[in-house]
Amino acid sequence: MINGFKVITLCGSTRFKNEFLEAQKRLTLEGNVVITVGLFGHSGDDVVWTEGVKDMLDRQHLAKIDLADEIFVINVGGYIGDSTRREIAYAEYKGKSITYLESCRKPSLYDNYAALSELHDVGRISDEDFEKAGRDFDEKRKAAIAEYNACQGPWPYQWKNIDAVVCGVLQQHGIVSIDYHDIKDLYDADCVYEARIKGKGANDEEQIQSIIDTIRSEYQAQLHSSKKVVVTLCGSSDPSDLLEKLADCMDGLNAVWQTRKLPTEAPEIVLSIVYVL
């Protein structure tokens, strides 16, 4: 705050010059001190691309974030480029409030730490700051895992090609996806595996039967030795009514069942089984 006014720094791609100017005007009239970019490299200010200028401007913008109470991200159409992604991570690390022009998926704890690593690699944050960021990252990750262990909720893991299945507690801590290392921590597991089985056949009945046959022939022993199993059935149409057919061949497992709709028009069923031993 300066003399009772909140300070807001605008972040985003300079291709959105008009949106920058509109946000600057609106936020100023709302009673804020607004800090914006000095040049619009993607909107005609070609001097930005001369040697040394872009690097200087990037460093200046981090300093502008240091001066702010909040950053306002101009993410037209959901677009957030690499520079803006790093600025968001920097603002998060510095404890700044972050708001967006348009609603979007917020960066996870993992996303922000990776972006800070990029800033550190090019010398834009110090070794000391990066070490502190690493400690903060580890503390938040461990706190999320500890809180998860104390509650009931869906089992988190990364569904690589479609989306992330997220426990609400972990999402509150900024962890949008959990890697296999964290799954091992959660369940004190020796190993974590994922089996991806694609159905074969001309229709749903044939595809689900081929999946069941594959489970029985290739995975039955491992699954019955597992501490935890997550079954995600994905189909081009709603696959919920097919879960009952799978239940018989997985009877007795400590399993969580989920369904997902595949973003495809072709008739297709895919089964993901994540299990820990």
Assigned fold of 189-276 = 60s Ribosomal Protein L30; Chain: A; (3.30.1330)
Q: State the chain's maximal CA–CA distance in angstroms.
A: 72
- Asked whether 7 and 35 are in contact (CB, 8 A), the reply is yes
Per-residue model confidence (pLDDT) at position 140: 78
Q: CATH assignment of 6-121?
A: 3.40.50.450
Going by pLDDT thresholds of 50, 70 and 90, the confidence category of residue 268 is confident
pLDDT one-digit tens code per residue, 161-171: 222 333 344 44
> Domain residues of the chain, as ranges?
6-121, 189-276
Backbone angles phi, psi at 200, to 5 degrees: -120, 135
- pLDDT, one tens digit per residue, over 127-151 is 998 999 889 888 877 776 666 555 4
SS3 262: coil
Cα(39)–Cα(17) distance, integer angstroms? 9
- Sheet of 32-35: strand order equals 32-35, 6-12, 70-74, 97-100
Return all residues near 235 (Cβ < 8 A) that are at least 6 apart. Answer: 204, 242, 259, 261, 262, 268, 269, 270
